[in-house]
Amino acid sequence: MRIALVNDMFIAVEAMRRVLTTASGHQVAWIARDGVEAVERCANDRPDLILMDLIMPRLDGVEATRQIMARTPCAIVVVTANVDDNASKVFEAMGAGALDAVNTPALSQPGNFEGAKALLAKIETIGRLLGMSGGQKSDAATILSRAAGRDQHDQLVAIGASAGGPAALAQVLSALPADFPAAVVIVQHVDQQFAPGLADWLSNHTRLRVLLAQEGDCLRAGTVFLAAREHHLILASPTHLGYTPIPVDCSYQPSVDVFFKSVERNWPGTAVGVLLTGMGRDGAEGLKALRDRGHHTIVQDEATSAVYGMPKAAIELGAATDILALDEIGPYLTNMLAQRNKP
């Protein structure tokens, strides 16, 4: 695999170069010292993979990733000194098209780089996604969708709820079949300490698998992912979920609006936004963004809402494609997605 290295630190470039020499089949295509140079080099010589730093002079890794994916798209993995410390920028880069992130390997003792195995594992995974092992390389336009094992027909149901939400969620999920053809992501206003209990409780009301959403989770049809931290759950890229503390001025963390808007930005397939009972306005603007993008949106009606604040705000904004009673939402989702999946 031809791999380009983008990093302004000589020691980091040298560490990555040495790590690559330990595995057969890889060669350094070129080296760029900042984002501007990377964009220019990629336009003239597109590699199979770019290992992209985040913090660089002139143009950082986020904007360089965005420009490369717009002009000459190729696989990009963020390689930064500390992924956890740079989480928000990692999410931005993944939102711009980067496939994954890993810590920069560091020299721990002569001839031995700490983190080398992790970096090589990421490269091997990307190689499989690109079809390198089979001798056929995928075109760049399909890199992101294949990274998650998805295709253009992939479907996502994004649900937001607040006061009265647990019971409403249980009723919606109970109506979904075990072979439900979409991933389901739920943002319910609940303290982090109560999220595990809510996931267990919802599991008893559905035939789907219910998981606490973890950083880096890849969405899968027939699986429910529940926001489980006091930061915002987001679709960090077309392939992964993530968490971010930004924006900090939201009334709720996690915020339904923040998640819906991340879906509007990053989801490449069919999405359905659902806003259930709750106090306030969280989710209304995000649902409107989804509808404006062309996705179907559903709002719970007043008669069956425990608290009509969030649904009412969404309706007033014109965010609702359909306004349904609670007991109609699950069957409606099942029938709608089944129709879309027919040949």
List the one residue out of 59, 55, 53 whose CA is nearest residue 37. 59
Spatial distance between the Cα atoms of 196 and 87, rounded to a whole number of angstroms: 23
The three-state DSSP-derived secondary structure of 128-194 is HHCCHHHCCCCCHHHHHHHHCCCCCCCEEEEEEECCCHHHHHHHHHHCCCCCCCCEEEEEECCCHHH
Of the residues 162, 255, 262, 305, only one is catalytic, namely 162
- Structural contact between residues 300 and 275, judged by C-beta atoms closer than 8 angstroms: yes
Helix pair angle (256-266, 284-293), 10° resolution: 20
The strand pair at 49-52 and 155-161 is best described as unpaired
Instruction: Respond yes or no: is residue 162 known to be catalytic.
Output: yes
Q: Which tokens hold the place of 310?
A: 């969030």
Do the Cβ atoms of 216 and 240 come closer than 8 Å? yes
CA dist 202 and 172 (Å) reads 10
Q: Regarding beta strands 232-235 and 241-244, do their DSSP bridges make them parallel or antiparallel, or are they unpaired?
A: antiparallel
Q: Which pair of tokens denotes residue 201? A: 């409780």
Task: Write the CB contacts of 151 (distance below 8 Å, at least 6 apart in sequence).
Answer: 145
Nearest to 111 by CA among 19, 248, 209, 235: 19
Helix (H) or strand (E) holding 225: strand 223-226
278 and 252 in contact (C-beta within 8 Å)?
no
* CA-angle at 31, arms to 67 and 120, nearest 5°: 95
HSE toward the beta carbon, residue 328, CA cutoff 13 A? 11
> Which of 189, 240, 295, 296 is flagged as catalytic?
189
Q: What residues act catalytically?
A: 162, 189, 282
